[in-house]
Amino acid sequence: MDVRCQRRMPRIESHLLRSVAVLRILIVEDEAKVAKAVSEGLAAERYEVRIAATGEEGFFLLSQESFDLVLLDLMLPRRDGLEILTALRKRGVETPVLVLTAKDTIEERVQGLDCGADDYLVKPFAFAELLARIRALLRRGRMDQVLKLEHEDLVMDLVARTVARGALALDLTAKEFEILEYLLRRQRTVVSREMLARDVWQVTARATPLDNVIDVTIARVRRKVDDPFPTKLIHTIRGVGFLLGPLPR
Ligand code: CA
């Protein structure tokens, strides 16, 4: 068998796995009864659900973990949903947001959409309608995701398998491409060497030689992605791993 074909196999499999992976939804809702009911309904539809009871908690979870969709209540204690939404979009979090609210005036809907909401559902709503809107948003999100990954002026075309930063086309090896794709899919979150070893190299046992290979490959990716530009996109977080995105303040 052609060695190159053999090497390509895990890649294809990991793409397939990713496409059937469980979709994660974050519910930001202070009314425990509503949060529980929606969460149970979504879990029954095989979504993985997390609940945040305040906007701060929601904001924190979104900066720590990756979600495919957020259900955001507008009437929250302290910082309301619109403030949270504005802050998220400002930070570049592009996760689709479906606003759930008891407010029902045209002004409020427009304001919600202007702040970066992707859709709007007024309480009380039929669960079937919520599901339909969630599916529509996820479909939209997934289609974008499959074709292109972006961060700032860095664009990865997953179909053509090309990478460019601004007007400059970057020439990456297959492994470098894979690492950069991994970082782009988890942008703004820290990726550890352990994660790279497990998911990119498919090696679960930690070993110093592999850590060295990872460091060398990351260094090559950074040279290509960041060296020609004043704004650096990839950072080393000492003792933890690597981050594609702005350094946390
Ligand atoms: Ca509420």
Q: How far is the CA of 64 from the centre of ligand 1 (A)?
A: 23
Contact criterion met (CB below 8 Å) for 81 and 38: no
**Order of strands across the sheet that contains 190-192:** 190-192, 241-244, 234-237
CA 80 / ligand 1 centre spacing (Å):
9
Residues 44-71, mean pLDDT to the nearest whole number: 90
Burial of 38 (0-12, 13-18, 19+ CB in 10 A): buried
Over 90: is that where the pLDDT of 103 sits? no
Please enumerate in sequence order all residues whose Cβ is within 8 A of that of 8, keeping only pairs 6 or more positions apart, or say none.
none
CA distance 237 to 167: 28
* CA dihedral for 77, 81, 82, 83, sign (positive or negative): positive
Question: How confident is the model at residue 3, as a pLDDT?
Answer: 40
> Which domains, ranges and CATH numbers included, belong to the chain?
12-140 (3.40.50.2300), 148-244 (1.10.10.10)
What's the CA-to-centroid distance between 32 and ligand 1, angstroms? Answer: 9
pLDDT digits (tens, 9 = 90+) for 222-237: 999 999 999 999 999 9
Question: Is 125 strand, coil or helix?
Answer: coil
How far, in Å, from the CA of 127 to the mean position of ligand 1?
Answer: 17
Whether the CB-CB separation of 61 and 97 falls below 8 Å is answered with: no
Structure tokens at 22: 């469980």
Residue 75 Cα to ligand 1 midpoint, Å, equals 4
- Cα-to-centroid distance, 57 and ligand 1 (Å): 14
121 within 8 A of 151, measured Cβ to Cβ? no
CA of 100 to the centre of ligand 1 (A): 9
DSSP string of 67-124, one letter each residue: -SEEEEES--SSS-HHHHHHHHHHTT----EEEEES---HHHHHHHHHTT-SEEEESS
Tens digit of each residue's pLDDT (9 = 90 or more) over 148-187: 889 999 999 877 889 999 999 999 999 999 999 999 988 8
Distance 249 CA to ligand 1 centre (A): 30
Average pLDDT over residues 193-213: 84
What's the rounded Cα separation, in Å, for the pair 166 and 57? Answer: 35
What is the 59 CA–ligand 1 centroid distance (Å)?
16
d(CA 104, CA 98): 15
Q: How far is the CA of 30 from the centre of ligand 1 (A)?
A: 5
Strand residue runs (E) in 105-237: 119-122, 148-151, 154-157, 162-165, 168-170, 190-192, 234-237
* CA 112 to ligand 1 centroid distance, Å: 15
Locate 144 and state its tokens: 């974008």
- 215 Cβ partners below 8 Å, 6+ apart? 193
Among 13-27, 49-63, 82-96, 188-202, the minimum mean pLDDT is found in 13-27
Please give the distance, rounded to the nearest whole angstrom, from the Cα atom of residue 188 to the centre of ligand 1. 28
Gap between the Cα atoms of 91 and 75, Å rounded: 22
**Contact (CB, 8 A) for 52 and 46:** no
Question: Residue 1 is encoded by which pair of tokens?
Answer: 């068998």
Between the CA of 120 and the centroid of ligand 1 the distance, in Å, is 15
Q: How far is the CA of 36 from the centre of ligand 1 (A)?
A: 13
Q: Compute, in angstroms, the gap from residue 95 CA to the centroid of ligand 1.
A: 21
Here the tokens at position 129 are 């309608």
CA of 72 to the centre of ligand 1 (A): 9
Ligand 1 centroid to residue 35 C-alpha, Å: 10
Query: Within 10 A of 237 (CB to CB), how many other CB atoms are there?
Result: 13
Q: Which position has the higher pLDDT, 93 or 241?
A: 241
Q: 117 C-alpha vs ligand 1 centroid, how far in Å?
A: 17
**pLDDT higher than 90, residue 98:** yes
